Structure 1
Amino acid sequence: MAAPPLSLRGVYDSLRVPTLRDLVFSAKAYLATALALIVGFSQNLENPYWAVLTVYIVLTPPESGAIRSKALFRFLGTIGGGMVMMGVTALLGDQLGVLVSVTILIITGATFLRQTDRTPANYLWFSGGITAGVVGLTNLMQPTNVFDYATARMGEISLGILAIAAVDSVFWPRPMTPDFLKTMADWRGQARSWLVDALSLTAAQSSDEDRRQVLRQGLRDMTKAVGVIDAKAVQLPFDVIAMAPRGRQLNLVRRQVVELIADLAGVEIWARALRHDQTLHTDLGEALEQVSRWVEASPDQPDDRTEAHAAEGEALIAALNARHDALDPAGGLTLATERGLLSRLAAFVGDWADLSLALRAVETGGKLSPRLDQMARQAKPVRSVDYLGAFFDVAPMLLSMGLTATIWYWTAWSSGGGALLFSMIGCVFLIGQDRILQSSTGLLTWILTAFGLVFLYQYAILPRVTDFPVLIAVLGCALLPFGLMMAMSTAGMLICVYIFAFLGLQSAYAADFNQSLQTLNASLAGLLIAFACLYLCSYDHARFAARRLLLAVRRDILDIARSRRIPDRERFLFLAIDRLALYFPAAEQLFGAGQLPRVRMIDDFGIGINLLTLRHSEPDVSPAMRAVLQDLRVQAEQTYRAKLKGRSDGGALRELVDAALDNPALLTETTRGRLIEALTGMHLALHDEQAPPPGEIIP
């Protein structure tokens, strides 16, 4: 298992030979630092070191779109956090105990919101909480200074934002869109190969479990694209290319990727059920060949052939639907399964073509067709949010800051405010991480390294360097190597940030030895309290997340079964795939890089989506069949209530589904095709569920 990224071992493992991109990154940081210090000192700003700290925070990641979006969130968060603290101090400045308590609640509230937002936009909450902490906690004993301190910090951080934005725009800007398109091209290539392999499961020799598990491993890897798109959708609209992608286009890309993952999961289930060539309808093999050829002919990156290929896809969908309609669902389980596979393939072809057109619009900056534009307007991302997990992550911060404030209150500790500040900072960087002791050791090492460099700078360099250009050159001797380290490890960024944080907490124009030691003592005390609270409140994040995600999918199916209103299909689908995308990384941490146990979430997803189809069909069936479907829903509710409690239903739901398939009344329904396909899909998922897994991730 890999070491935590902030641990000594984790940082050592991340180091490598610097590349040209690393050198450019380090040079940008240094130039922005020089620019910020030149302007700050020439204009006699109160503490220009805050501007430099902003440079090193905003510069990661190094792509221009990410830098610009992060700069905007930093600016808004700083303004918001500063104004909130000015308002709170104006109301409660004469009640120190209440002011401390409210400040702690503001910081933990911002951190909670940050933990619930999985996109880079959470930096807005991060910077707001940090600003509220720095402004509020450093001026608790002198509330009258909050207004001047907050406005000065806003100006200095704005200077840092402008410095890095200017340097990045002039000096080797790095666009994000080409890398994003290449990532999507790689994903499409992976999906293409996966589909061809999945369709070969219909062959007689393809029925062994190991090969099927390899396919599900591949599906696991493809879900990672959801997280990539979530990050890039926030950053790409700020890219430096002439026609930066619009958020609407990126939402459409995300929607189609989610749809394709669902299509592929369905294809795997339906194709695996057709294990013997001799049972296939004579035309199905030809249809599978047509789909394979069409997908393999699609360009990796959208180009001038994209629209023509999408038009071929429309013709292929019509042919697949014609084959589908020609099969009588009453002909038995095999024909019903073939119909289901043809339906999934038609959906896959349509979603693949729409993704190609959406990526073409991202690449060229062109407009979407009216149909796709309408889809894009409705393609609002649906993400799974675990509020309980976010609360557990924030709890150590609340405990740490509360304990520090209590010690400060009872002992009249002169460094209590500083300890409270660093208690917050220690929690901010370690929240949500496993192996707290290893991470804490690393973080403490990097902070002490930063303070040692600050001590050297203030008492060995500043007294001997009186010329500003020489001072900038001397700073470069440290900043350039740490800039290279930043490109490889978070530790490099932490060292640079803490260097300028220590400098920012002191006078910018005169070094004070006693104040320096007081800052060090406060930081160590606050950090040790934070580490202790984080360790006491630590838990197995991966196991907790995997269990919660699996239970969430099962609760969704329970809601489908019992809800009076029919749940929205797209919301269920998007939430299920989003949870799969979160589930697999957690499962990887539990089981290492090896093969994962059978993924129950895929089986539950198959049951849920088909149960939802049956619910949509209920108004259109006869009273007798409606009673059958309602009985099935009642049993599904009971089954999933039992699953949520860790119990089995003894196969009762599967027996009821099979009985519904054998019911003669089913063949008299006008919507029998849709009903038989949905019941067959549930039958396949429930049959798969009975196979003994190598292990399961829920106690």
Structure 2
Amino acid sequence: MNTAQPINTPSSKTVAAMFKAGTSFLRTPALKADADAILFSAKSFAAAMLAYYISLRIGLPKPFWAIVTVYIVSQTSAGASLSRGVYRFAGTLLGATATVAIVPNFVNDPMVCSVVLAGWIGLCLFFSLLDRTPRAYAFVLAGYTASLIGFPSVLDPGAVFETASVRVQEISIGILCAVLIHRYVLPKRMTGQFTGKLWATLRDARRLAGDALNGTSGQNRRDRHQLAADLLAIQGLATHLPYDPAPTPRRQTLQLIHDRLARLLPLAAEIEDRIEAFGTGDGDAPDELIALVGDVGAWIANVVTEDREVGAAQLIARAQSVQKRFGSDAATPGDRLAANLAGHLAEMIGLLQDCDRLGRNIAATGRLRDAASLHGPKWARGYVYHRDPWMAARTTVGAVVGILIGCAFWIWSVWPEGGMAVSILGVCCTLFGNFDAPVPFVVKYIVGSIYGVAISLIYSFVILPQVTDFWVLVAVLAPAFLFAGSLQARLPTTFMALGITLTIPILSGLGTHYTGDFAASLNSVIALFAAVGFGAVSMSLFQTVPVDAAINRLLRLSRRDVGRRALGAAPNEARWASLMIDRTALLLPRLRVSGKAYSNVLDNTLHHLRIGHVAGQLRKTIPQIKGEAGVELSELLSVIAGRFSGRKSSTPADLLDLDRRIQTLIVTMASSTLRNRLRIVDLLIDLRFALSSPADGRATTHDR
């Protein structure tokens, strides 16, 4: 007889555990990235088809430009898509206007017309390289719009105005559709991404401060590099915030928190050096100072916001009391060092507390509600970008030379598709011109274009002849565009995806009606690969900057600017700190690319930052110092300026002589009757430590 078997049902705990495991899996970074990429691709495809439909309905002759524009403008966040769309429209309008002004005026000489167009493209590239903000995209578009419209019109100048007018309309429709879809259909806001990165940066800052107190120099080096990279990343996100649909922080608040984090980076190194000096025999640290350092470390490690808020004021008062007590007499070097360290501790506590308050304001309201409660300055400079006109001009000249060689071959050979080829060459030279080594990115684009050409040929001569309805067309285009769009959302495959999404609409002939001209398609394919291939060769010869040359130039400019600050002809302290941090952030990816060992390069940039900071402050105090001491300080700064302005390496004897002069000045100033003598003594101590800061673990005797 059959006996009924009991059915084993999972318990509630088992179900809960399974549900928790399932939700945890769904939240994994890899799966989240896949979901974000799929959503981005779906929205981009919807925007592209909407732009295509509108262009068809109003009778634009080349509606595929609207599709291309959608994929160029679309970004993974709503704010970035809007800002890119605004700058693309501005650049397109400017480029089209310039083309209409240039081509008819040089109609009788195609080569001269080509030279002027190449010069305009080069000028736009130059300004885009100098800008280094999202605004640079407007200059890029002004250049390559002129290339797309201008070169094909050189041999047919009568149609240039109509071509430019229609192109602006097609691109405007693409921009509008991309912005609307990404902003209002399941928008991914930049504000949340920015806030998350900001809190991660604040955690990195507190870790840097804690490691400085612990004297873990190896970890400190990594922390400093991470903070410099964080500041650049935050600035990159912040530039898109004004275009985000969510409430955004005020610019003043962002500048205040940036300046405090920028000051913290060298300040942590100052504190680490002082603690190390006490530990290696530069005087015995007073018990009161040791207790203060321990309490500051505990305060930094505390995760309770309320406790940190109350403890900050008490610790700052204690640090200032210790500074005043040991600095009032300053009879011994140990006393002076203790007062100096206590002053830096008070500043660091104030900076960290300000960052906490500003971060909470940004997370809560985005507004600075109580500026009077801040410990540091109420005025901020904000992020400062390194700009190098000489390197920008070098890249620009390389692009112009490459374009002109292409123009000369086209006009000499009377190649019918030459105008199209040169226009694509101009796009490559501007679009990839902001990379030191553009060729690897061009190769990715070529690989994508190969896939795009293969898919286009299948569409053009196998699939599209069977399509008679718009919605059927959308259905057959969806697989290719959805796949390419998901690749575009992933950074490693972005350029390859662009090769697909920009090639299919043009080569498939997605116009007002089906053409299916195999000869024309083949000629276009030849022109595309000839242009991109020659662009890769041209950019490798004329636009590529060797990574070692880029690294050494950044270091030379930093050394030069240290000398300028010592002479009093350089930016203020906040701007100086931000500029050097940006240079550090620029060095980080270049050092990873370089095959050589540059173990001390990033430490040297911090070394330059510290020396330049204190040298500039000391230069301002010279008018307040009368007599021989003022003359000696001026001579000392002149020596430092000479050391950093030249290429000659400093010997250990040079450093020892500088150290003796500084010690003599410290003793002189400590015994003087100047009202601000303690401040000057502090600066001289900072200068002494900065000049001997261990870029390689010990005193720096060279700065290449």
Q: TM-score, normalised by structure 2?
A: 0.87
Bigger shift: 167-176 or 594-603? 594-603
Distance 1:623 1:179, change over 3 A: same
1:665 paired with 2:668, answer yes
Question: Residue 466 of structure 2 aligns with which residue?
Answer: 464
Between 1:232-241 and 1:650-659, the stretch displaced more is 650-659
Which residue does the alignment assign to 1:52? 67
Query: 1:258 matched to which residue of 2?
Result: 262
Q: How far did residue 174 of structure 1 move?
A: 0.7
Q: Give the 3-state SS of the residue equivalent to 1:361 in structure 2.
A: helix
Residue 457 of structure 2 is matched in structure 1 by 455
Residues 225, 541 of structure 1: CA spacing in aligned structure 2 closer, same or farther, 3 A cutoff? farther
Counterpart of 2:175 in structure 1 is: 161
SS in structure 2 at match of 1:536: helix
Query: For residues 164-563 of structure 1, what are the structure 2 equivalents within 5 Å?
Result: 164-201=178-215, 211-241=216-246, 243-275=247-279, 279-297=284-302, 309-310=308-309, 312-328=311-327, 330-368=330-368, 369-371=370-372, 378-433=380-435, 438-488=440-490, 489-490=493-494, 491-502=496-507, 509-537=514-542, 539=544, 541-563=546-568
Distance 1:588 1:455, change over 3 A: same
Return the offset for 1:570: 2.3
1-side partners of 2:299 and 2:598: how far apart?
A: 33
Which amino acid is the alignment partner of residue 575 of structure 2? Answer: R
Task: Kindly provide the amino acid, as one letter, of the partner of residue 610 in structure 1.
Answer: V
Structure 2: any 5+ residue segments left out of the alignment?
A: 1-29
Shift of 1:310: 4.9
C-alpha RMSD of the superposition: 3.1
State the shift of 1:569 in Å: 2.3
What's the offset of the Cα at 1:464?
0.9
Corresponding residue number in structure 2 for 1:302? none
Change beyond 3 A, Cα 1:615–1:597: closer
Residue of structure 2 in register with 1:119 after alignment? 133
Question: Structure 2 vs 1, CA of residues 693 and 289 (structure 1 numbering), >3 Å: closer, same or farther?
Answer: closer
Structure 1: which amino acid aligns with 2:689? L
Report deviation, 1:546.
1.8
Rg bigger for which structure?
A: 2
8 Å Cα contact 1:419-1:526 kept in structure 2: yes
Is residue 44–residue 178 contact of structure 2 (8 Å, CA) maintained in 1?
yes
For 1:691 and 1:219, the matched residues in 2 are separated by 15
Partner of 1:10: none
Return the letter of the residue paired with 1:640: F
Q: Structure 1's 440 and 383: CA in aligned 2 closer, same or farther, altered over 3 A? A: closer
Per the TM alignment, residue 191 of structure 1 is displaced from its structure 2 partner at its CA by: 1.9
C-alpha contact (below 8 Å) 2:96/2:149 kept by paired residues: yes
Deviations 1:572-592 (A, max 9, x none): 222222222222332232258
Shift of residue 340 of structure 1? 2.4
Relative to the length of structure 1, the TM-score reads: 0.88
Deviation of 1:691 (Å): 6.0
Q: Could you tell me how far 1:16 is from its partner in structure 2?
A: 9.2
**Residue in 2 that maps onto 1:7:** none
8 Å CA contact retained: 1:588, 1:596: no
Q: Which residue of 2 aligns with 1:676?
A: 681
Q: How many residues align?
A: 666
Partner of 1:23: 38
Superposition deviation, residue 124 in structure 1 = 1.3
Structure 2 SS opposite 1:327: helix
**Once the 2 structures are TM-superposed, how far is the Cα of residue 250 of structure 1 from its aligned partner?**
2.6
Q: Distance in 1 between matches of 2:701 and 2:134?
A: 32
**Structure 2 SS opposite 1:248:** helix
Q: Provide closer, same or farther for how the CA distance between residues 473 and 264 of structure 1 changes in structure 2, counting only shifts above 3 A.
A: same
* Deviation for aligned residue 1:507: 7.4
Which of these residues, 40, 50, 54, is aligned with residue 39 of structure 1? 54
Cα pair distance change 1:636/1:662, threshold 3 Å: same
SS at match of 1:647: coil
**In 1, are the aligned partners of 2:51 and 2:177 still within 8 Å (CA)?**
yes
Q: Which residue in the other structure is 1:96 paired with?
A: 110
CA 1:544–1:343 in structure 2 vs 1: closer, same or farther (change >3 Å)?
A: farther
Q: Do 2:448 and 2:498's aligned partners in 1 also have CA atoms closer than 8 Å?
A: no
> What SS is found at the alignment partner of 1:46?
coil
Q: How far apart, in 1, do the equivalents of 2:654 and 2:99 lie?
A: 59
Cα pair 1:270 1:341 within 8 Å, conserved:
yes
Identify if the C-alpha distance between structure 1 residues 375 and 668 changes in structure 2 by more than 3 Å, giving closer, same or farther. Answer: closer
Q: State the Cα deviation string for residues 213-270 of structure 1 (Å, max 9, x = none).
A: 33112211110122112211210111122x2233333333322322222322332333
- 1:523 Cα deviation (Å)? 1.9
Post-superposition offset of 1:94:
4.0
Letter in 2 for 1:611: A
Distance 1:443 1:161 in 2: 22
Identify the residue that residue 12 of structure 2 maps to in structure 1: none
CA–CA separation in structure 1 for the residues paired with 2:64 and 2:311: 60
Q: Secondary structure at the match of 2:170?
A: helix
Say yes or no: does 1:632 pair with 2:636: yes
Percentage of matched positions with identical amino acids = 24
CA distance in 1 between counterparts of 2:228 and 2:409 reads 47
Asked if the contact 2:425–2:534 (Cα under 8 Å) also holds between the matched residues in 1, the reply is: yes
- Alpha-carbon distance change, 673 to 49 in structure 1, aligned in 2, over 3 angstroms: same
* CA spacing shift, 1:497–1:517, aligned 2, 3 Å: same
Provide, for residues 425-447 of structure 1, a one-character-per-residue CA deviation record: whole Å limited to 9, x for no partner. 33334435466665544332222
Q: 1-side partners of 2:245 and 2:275: how far apart?
A: 44
Deviation at 1:285, TM superposition (A): 1.8
Using the TM superposition, name which of 121-130 and 531-540 deviates more: 531-540
1-structure distance, mates of 2:385, 2:373 = 22
Q: Which runs of 5+ in 1 are unaligned?
A: 1-14, 202-210, 300-304
Q: Classify 1:221/1:194 alpha carbon distance in 2 versus 1 (closer, same or farther; 3 Å).
A: same
Distance 2:682 2:699 in 1: 29
Give yes or no for contact 1:106–1:129 (8 Å, CA) kept in 2: yes
Moved more, 595-604 or 35-44: 595-604
Q: Do 2:600 and 2:695's aligned partners in 1 also have CA atoms closer than 8 Å? A: no
Determine helix, strand or coil for the equivalent of 1:688: coil
Offset of residue 317 of structure 1: 2.4
Say which SS state the counterpart of residue 138 (structure 1) adopts: helix
Distance (whole Å) between structure 1 residues aligned to residue 164 and residue 546 of structure 2: 36
CA–CA separation in structure 2 for the residues paired with 1:442 and 1:367 = 43
Higher mean C-alpha deviation, range 521-530 or range 243-252? 243-252
1:182-229 deviation per Cα after TM superposition (whole angstroms, max 9, x unaligned) = 11111221221221121022xxxxxxxxx5233112211110122112
Report if the CA contact (8 A) 2:212-2:271 is conserved: yes
Residue 57 of structure 1: CA displacement? 1.2
- The CA distance in 2 between the partners of 1:269 and 1:54, in whole Å, is 54
Q: Residue 535 of structure 1: CA displacement? A: 2.1
Alignment partners' CA distance in 1, 2:311 and 2:330: 31
Is 1:138 aligned to residue 152 of structure 2?
yes
Measured in 2, the distance between the counterparts of 1:396 and 1:559 equals: 31
